[in-house]
Each structure stands twice: as structure tokens, then as C-alpha cells.
Chain A
Amino acid sequence: MPTSRRDFLKAAAGVPAVLSLGSVAPAFLQRAAAADPTPGADRVLVVVELSGGNDGLNTVVPYDNDEYGRNRNTLRMTKRDVIPIGSDLGLHPQMPEMKRLLDDGRLGIVQGVGYPNPHGGHPESMRVWQTGRLDAEFCQTGWLGRAVDVISNKDATDHIAPCRGAFVGVFPRPLTVNAAGTVVPSVRSIEDWKLRAKAAPVDVPQDASPLLQEVGRRTQSAQAHAATVDEVIRSGERREYPDTPLGANLRIMAQLIEANVGVRILNTDAGGGGDIGGYDNHAGQKDNHAALLRQLSQGVAAFVDDLNGRGLLDRVVLITTSEFGRTIQENGRRGTDHGSAAPMLLAGGRVRPGLIGEHPSMTETENNGPKHHTDFRRVYAALLDQWLGIDSQVVLGQKFEPIKVLA
């Protein structure tokens, strides 16, 4: 499999019109090429946040469960409604694409995820999931932001400076990607990554100060990577993505992954961003939730199919997060309120497929929702340690026993 560094070399060599290699180039390129011997250094983690609090019980539905049936009046789904996936569980009927991914071994579902003494409010609980810390109030960086810092710190010693993480979407950047030491950009359009006008070739004299030489290298790298992204954009039609904001954002991510410019961490929000996420269905949940899950299922499937078609799926794991699941009991407004545990979805070529862990108990509850049995930070830890190859303890502040989520 090509490494990102080698692709960069190819890209740099392939665009003489845009980039003439200056006098600093040979040493720089040598070092860049040597800097990337680690297998898996081109792996990417994509985190899709379902802001608002996704109703896990109507995503992976325990249709046969008495508690479920008794507590849900208008929102109840029966065996006939759902797409059965075994263990007396079924997927929401608007998620046939997810079923296909499950059958193809490209989707894993971690059940019953949450954290101890869960918060009942959006900002508080979101902050816990976004920082990856229970003392989130005092934590100003996001778990992905810290992961970007760790990777970038290593880059600094290797004298390279790719952009390691990005938020994709038009909403304000969430805390998730806030980093103390690295600028994590918001990518609203893939065009943001392109040069709007022809760049001048970098030509820093050899006797220039080390600072200037380093700036020259970074300028050269940025120009080369921008040219690579431009090639990907111009390489023609991509597989169809659904015409939704999530579809557009996933498409941008696929383009960045294909360009292989060193981005390791990508984050987006499928709930519409802002203070109130679209998954927060307190009233008239049925149609709204169905539409959201349809968009999610179609978007993720398009993303997986696109990457798979290009032989890139083994480089990518996509996960969903959400600040909480919802109450077992439907409220008087044909909606549900803030609960606790919910499933996390994982998609990619190397995820452990199928159901992971038991469906949470419907009688043991917290915040009137199913009680969690798996700490979400165990999933984070697995992805940090085993997928991104960085020390989860550094990122999460303590050690968690990783869940087996990778194949």
C-alpha cells in the first residue's frame, strides 16, 4: 500500500508547472521519505457526531422486548417494521444500506455505550463525549484535538508539517477537535484545500536561516499537497453521494483520504450543528428520526462504497458518537427525552463486524434510559492505541481497557 509520504513525492514530482523544486528540496524530500516507515501511518479515523442525542432504541431496535413495547406508543417498531439482524434485534427500516454493510462485514455495532453518572443536559454530556473526560468542565481541548497534537508533535521532530486533523462542515468547529498546540482547520468545501491562484516556486537559499528554511519546506509541502488535492478534484466524477449536508461532508473526506495528504483525523456533525442537534427529538420524533437515519445510512454507505471502489477502505474507520441515548418511555409529545446508553456504529474495511456486546438491559436504567455497560472511552482507547497507533493514555489522561472493535 502506498504511504502518504511516497505519494507526496509522486505528487511533488508530478506537478512541475506548479512547483519547481528549489535548492532545499533534496534534503527535505529525503527526510520526508524517511520519516514514514511505520506501517499504518496513513490510517484515518472519521468521527461523525449525531448531535442532539440519538434514540438508540429505535436505531437498533429490541422489537420483541416487553419494556420497549409497553413504553412506546406511537414510536414503537414491531418485527414487521424493522430490518432483522438477529438476536431479536432489528435495524430501523430506513437503514437498509447499513444492513448491507453489516452483511458485507463492514459494519460493527458496539452496544450499550455510555459513561458513569451521565449528565442529562446537552452541553454537559456533549462536552464529556467531545473531551473524552468526565471532568470535562475543566478540559478545554477535545479528544481528537489532543490526538492531533500528539501526531503533530512527532511531525515536528521529523521536520514535516502536514495538517493532521480537520473538521469538515459549515458549522462552528466543535470542542472535539480543539487542540492546544495545533491549528485544526474547518473545511467547508474541498476547494478550501486548493490554491486559488498559481503559486510561485519555493526557492529558499541554502544559507538562509534554519527558520526560513523550515518555512520554505512547509510552503513547499503545502503547495504540493494542494496540487494533489486539486488532481483528485479534477480526476473526474465520483460515486454518487446523497444530496445532503452529511453526504457532501463525507464526500470531502473521501477526497482528502484519496489525496493522501497526511490527514489522519476527520470530524463532522450529522445533527445540524449548533446548540440543538437534530437528533434531539422531543416532539414528533417518528418522521424526523427516520429522515435522519436515512441520511446517515445512505451517506455512510456511499462513503464506504466510494472508498472501497478505490481500494482505500482498509485505511479508514468511521465511527458515530452521540451525547446520550433516549428514554425508554415515549413522552406525551410523541417524542423521547434524554436517556443514557446507546449504540455506536463503526464502519470500514477493518472493523470487527456485527454486534459487539449485549443489548443493554431494559429494566436496569439510568436517566430513564437503558443503563450503559460499556464506557465510551474504551472504544476511544481502542481506536487511539490500535488504529491510530498513539498512546491512548496520553490522550485520555488514564488507561482504559480497549474494546475489541477492529478485526
Chain B
Amino acid sequence: MMSRSRLIGAALLMAAVLTAHVSAADDLPPASQWLPAGALLAVEVSGTADVLDLALSDGMIDTVSAMPPLQQKKQDGGLDQFKTIVGYFEANLGTDWKTAARTLLGGGVTLALYPDKTVLLIVDSKDAALLEELREFTTTVAKGEAAKKGNADSIRSGEYRGATGWTFGDKEAHAVVGNRLIVANKSDALKRVVDLREDGGAALADQAEYKAAKAAAGPKADAFLMVNMGALKQVPNVQKGLDNVGNPVGSLLLAGVADSLRAANLLTLALDVDGDTISLAAVSDGKVDAAKSSVAFAKTDGGALPNLKVPGFLAGFSFCRDLHSFYAAKDDLFPERTGGLIFFENMMGIFFSGRDLADDVLSETEPEIRVLAARQKYDEEIGTPKTQIPAFAAVLRMKNPEKFSLVMEEAWQKAVGLVNFTRGQKAEPGLIIDRPTHGDTQFTVARFAAPKVEERTDADVRFNFNPALAMPDGYLILSSTEGLARDLIDAVKKEASETLAGIDEVHSLAEVDGTSVATILLANREQLVRNNMIEEGNSRDQAEMAIDSLVAIVSHLGRTKFEIRNESGATQARFVIELKLAAK
């Protein structure tokens, strides 16, 4: 049997989770008018119905209950405990928990955090009576608990300007006004809400950031989060954290996101739930001085190209970047010289026969860069390696294909030669170059000699790689496998036959197919379990649980998309998850 204190906790949690649409609340002004202005952070959930529809849907509940940790709990009886609490709760409130949740939260939830660490929460119920029942129920439980321990209960109540406030201790105070529950982490804060209601004054609804955030989120949003960056940046650790963001690769990929946050006064996150699709949009008002930021290398005229479609697609990243000017500015952007950078430059010097990397090589590429990963099918001649690594490739477009393709071919073959030389020094097998044809495209591939027949079931990791270079129709494809190169030749030929259209103003786009990623994870389950054992110190059972949970979560993510756009200096990010819930 679960302890009383946990029971109270659970009941309170439900009370908090369960509050948000409007019934008798119609006569109360919006919660944001009862909360004081000056919030650092505010969350407003207005579309609780949409959120709860998804959260309480059969698909979601089946999916969550099928997760390995819950299955485990089911076996060891942990779930029964929880069910007992829910049952107790339902019996006392005279309604099932899903209905209770919809009713209690139905009018909306608003939360605000202030610089003095005050937290205020307003929950609007659709049913004042049910709310009052819940309050009484928790009070009774708390009293019973105290009595059982032989303590006087610490429940106090008091009147303040016509409102009754209760507290279970000094860490919490709450009041119910009609169908509205107000919870504060300090009793003074609760009084401030009452004062604001009685006397009027600057409310959250009047705060400029709140208004801007609400506007930015738009009327369709089910919920939004406002972060008052201007005030938050006064906190030294936040400032320091923002200053520390950024390494060469990171700033190229995220192109100005950190800069934008540094410059921002307001960050808005808007949530929209539509069926099984969750969209999260982030908008920062931080304008970035293009001349001083890596955002300068993110080009939005034309925009990033859509990801290429290939069989077994796992993940794709599409960028629009001016690599040439990025690399040319490296001295200013990244003053440090690491061994890795020097090694890279030395190698590029060899591969490109002394050409200047920025001026003679990177300047030959168009700004659309795509990287993608796909599941690979292993040749029967080769067998399946014990660790399966997806195929991955980069796809660029060349400005002067006739001239540059020869430079590229030479560089690539030198790189293969160098790999062979280095592997040879370590007495490891090398790659053999071939020039096969796919359709009308001749391309170059380097393969390891097939393993001995007896090794094919447990082939070496190297058989995950047979790197290829293909340059059809002005495209440059660098792939880790021949199979993906062939698929990409088909994909770019198809793209070239259509009108090339970038996604307006989007400079970065990432798409991940969770279901496919889950299959790759599953294929490498044993290796992942073992790594988990030594990296986390887990027992084999614990490690299997951790990996299986990861696989389960990823497999339900369906297709996930993340894009960053830059509109006249302001940065916007959008994150869309299409959940794949348990089939009915």
C-alpha cells in the first residue's frame, strides 16, 4: 500500500494536471489578468482539450503502458499500487480519472515564474463543485496522515480580503475562487493575486513580453511559453552559459541560434497538438548582426532544398550555407589551432594538390548541402557485420562541374590511396577502386575484398564501408556505400528533372524517421546493451531495459522534423513530431 504522503502528492498532482476549460469560469477574467506583471517565464495552456485528447487517447495509453519500464512495474506489482491510488481517488470524487482530468483542467492552465523565485499557478476547472471536492478530499487525506503519525496537522486556513486561503505547510499556499484554483509557493504571493484582483494594477496580461509572445504564438497554439530573455540574462550563469556556446562545427550547423539567443529579449515557444502530430515552434526576437555572426554563412535566399528520398531513409539534414566565406573567416571565428584542424588542412593540401581550401575548393560548391543516412542492405557476398553502421552521404552541387569534377575525382582517389597506405602500415586490408556504371552515370567506388566464407555471418566492421564518389548532372555525391550512392544517383536525377525549389527562408532542415532509426538500434541491440553496461555500470537486465526503452520511444516518434529559418535577422525554429502510437 502506498504511503499517505505519496497519495496526497499524487492527488495534488492530478489536481494540478486536471484544470482547464471554461464553465462557470466564464464570469472570471482570464488568468493572465490575475497574475502580476514582471514574470521571467510564463506558460499558458489554453487548448487543454487538444493536449488531453492526445495524452489520454487509447493509443497513447497503450503505447505508454507497453514501454519496458511499465511492463517491468506491472510484473513487480508497482502498477497495482498506482491503480489503487487512482481507484481511491475516483471513488472519492465519484468520477473516472480521465473525465476528472478533462473537467478539472478544462478551463486552462497558466503558470508564471518571477525573479524572486515566486511561482504562481492558476488552474481553471470546468466544474467548481468538483474542484471543491478535490480540495476537501486532499485536506482530509492530509489530516488523516498527520493524525496517523500522531502529529497535529499543519493545515492552516485564513481569510484575506474575502478570499479563503489554505496551506499544507510553509512551501505552498492555495485558494479556490469559483472554478479557479490558485496555487503559490509562498503565501505572500497568493495575497498579491488577491490584491491584484481587488485593486487592479499591472498584470501579466499587460506585460509587453507576454503580449508579444501571445501574438507570436498565434491563436491556433494550444499552449505557449514566454521566456523573458532580457530579464533572464541578468542571471550571471545564464549569461555565461550563452557566452560559452559555440565551436566550429556547432556554429556552422546551428548558424546563429546562439547569437540570436544572446541578442534576444523574448523567446516564445508555441505548442500545437493536432491529432497525433505535435508541433513546437520557437521564435526569438534576437536580431543578429550578420557581419559578426556565423549566421552570415547561412543563406536563405533560395533556402535549403528538401531532403532527398531514398529507400531505407533514416535521417536527412539539409543546409544552405556559404562554406567558402565560412572557412575563409575561420581565423576570426575560431582562433584556436587544434591538431585536428592542422591535420585536416594538411590532408586537404595533399588531396587538392595545394589548392587553397577556401578560395579554390569550397568556392566551387553551391550553398545547398545535404547529408543523409539510410539503412543499408548487405551484399550476400559480404555478409552482415557484427556492428551495423548505416550508410551516410553528403550531396552538394558544383558550380563548374566540367572543371571541378576532375579535381574532385583526383582528390577522392588520393584519399582512398592514403587510407590504403595507412591501413597497410597497420597490416590491415585495403580498398580496391572500381568504376561501375549506374544508368548512364559512371562513378567510382572502393571496396574491401570479400571476406572468407566462414566470416560472412560475423563480418568485420569495415564491411559497413565501400565508399563511393558520383557526380551526375552537376551534383557531387560522397557516400559511405555503393548502394546509397546508386540510390542517390536516381534521386538527384529525378530532382534535376524537376524545378529545383528551396524551402523559403529555411536555412537548416533536419528530418528523422524514428521507426527506421529504431530498426537500426535494434539491429545493434547487443552492442548497445554491452556499451550501456560498462558506460553506465548497469547490470545486463538494467542495460537491456534501458536500450529497449530507447528503441520503444524512438519507434513511436514516427517522422520528426526540425527546421530553422531566418527572417530579416530574427531566428525561428520549428519542431514537428508525428507520433506513431500503438495501433488499435
Contact = CB atoms under 8 A, between A and B. Distances in A.
B336 A281 contact: no
A245 interface: yes
A291 B342 CA distance: 12
A339 to B, nearest CB: 16
Interface stretch (A82-90, A137-145, A150-158, A282-290): A282-290
A341 B423 CA distance: 31
A108 interface: no
A279, A282, A295, A332: which has the most chain B beta carbons within 10 Å? A282
B80 interface: no
Contact of B335 (A278, A291, A331, A332): A291
Contacts of A334: 349, 354, 356
B354 A283 contact: yes
A332 B353 contact: yes
B339 A287 contact: no
A292 B331 CA distance: 12
A333 B337 contact: no
B327 to A, nearest CB: 11
**Size category of the binding interface on chain B:** 10 to 19
Please name the 6 residue pairs, one residue from A and one from B, whose CB atoms are nearest each other, closest first: A283-B349, A272-B339, A333-B349, A333-B354, A276-B343, A282-B346
Contacts of B354: 283, 331-334
A325 interface: no
A282 B353 CA distance: 12
Contacts of A244: 335-336
B336 A245 contact: yes
Contacts of A288: 337, 341-342, 345
Given A284-B357, A287-B331, A288-B345, A333 B339 contact: no
B350 interface: yes
B348 interface: yes
Interface in B342-371: 342-343, 345-346, 348-350, 353-354, 356-357
A27 to B, nearest CB: 43
B219 interface: no
Contacts of A291: 331, 335-337
Contact of A278 (B339, B349, B350): B339
A283 B339 contact: no
A281 B350 contact: no
Contact of A335 (B331, B336, B349, B357): B349
Interface string B304-341: 00000000000000000000000000010001111111
Contacts of B346: 276, 280-283, 333, 335
Contacts of B341: 278, 288
A276 B343 CA distance: 6
Interface residues of A, number: 28
B308 to A, nearest CB: 33
Contacts of A332: 353-354
A277 interface: yes
Given A283-B350, A287-B331, 19 more contacts: A245-B336, A271-B339, A272-B340, A273-B339, A276-B340, A278-B338, A278-B341, A278-B342, A282-B346, A282-B349, A282-B350, A284-B356, A288-B337, A288-B341, A291-B335, A291-B336, A291-B337, A295-B336, A334-B354
Contacts of A276: 339-340, 342-343, 346
A51 B343 CA distance: 12
A281 B353 CA distance: 15
A349 B534 CA distance: 49
A282 B340 CA distance: 13
B345 A284 contact: yes
A275 B422 CA distance: 13
Interface in A256-303: 271-284, 287-288, 291-292, 295
Interface string B122-156: 00000000000000000000000000000000000
A278 B349 CA distance: 15
A52 interface: yes
Contacts of A279: 342
Interface of B: 331, 335-343, 345-346, 348-350, 353-354, 356-357
Contacts of A282: 346, 349-350
Interface in A309-347: 331-335
Contact of A283 (B337, B338, B345): B345
Nearest to B336: A244
Interface centre among B336, B338, B339, B340 (most CB of A within 10 A): B339
Nearest to A290: B331
11 contacts: A244-B336, A273-B339, A275-B339, A276-B339, A276-B342, A277-B339, A279-B342, A282-B349, A283-B350, A291-B336, A335-B346
Nearest to A331: B354
Contacts of A283: 345-346, 348-350, 354
Nearest to A274: B339
B342 A280 contact: yes
Nearest to A334: B354
Contacts of A275: 339
A334 B345 CA distance: 11
A272 B349 contact: no
B337 A292 contact: yes
B326 to A, nearest CB: 15
Contacts of A281: 342, 345-346
A260 to B, nearest CB: 32
Nearest to A284: B345
A273 B335 CA distance: 17
A245 B339 CA distance: 12
A333 to B, nearest CB: 4
B419 to A, nearest CB: 16
Contacts of B345: 281, 283-284, 288
A282 B349 CA distance: 8
B420 to A, nearest CB: 18
Contacts of A287: 331
A94 to B, nearest CB: 12
A280 B338 CA distance: 11
A52 B342 contact: yes
A329 to B, nearest CB: 14
Given A52-B342, A283-B350, A284-B349, A278 B337 contact: yes
A288 B356 CA distance: 14
A275 B339 CA distance: 8
Interface in A198-247: 244-245
A295 B339 CA distance: 14
Q: Which of B349, B354, B356 has the most CB of A within 10 A?
A: B349
A162 B116 CA distance: 49
A295 B334 CA distance: 13
A287 B357 CA distance: 13
A216 B350 CA distance: 59
Interface string A18-31: 00000000000000
Contacts of B357: 284
A220 B356 CA distance: 59
A272 B331 CA distance: 17
A282 B345 CA distance: 8
Contacts of A51: 339
B388 to A, nearest CB: 29
Most buried by B among A284, A287, A295: A284
A51 to B, nearest CB: 8
Given A280-B342, A284-B357, A288-B345, A272 B337 contact: yes
A100 to B, nearest CB: 21
A335 B355 CA distance: 12
A291 B339 CA distance: 13
A332 B338 CA distance: 23
B342 A333 contact: no
Nearest to B335: A291
A381 to B, nearest CB: 30
Nearest to B355: A333
Q: Which residue of B331, B346, B350, B356 has the most chain A CB atoms within 10 A of its CB atom?
A: B346
Contacts of B338: 272, 278
A249 to B, nearest CB: 13
Tell which of A275, A277, A278, A292 has the most Cβ of chain B within 10 Å: A278
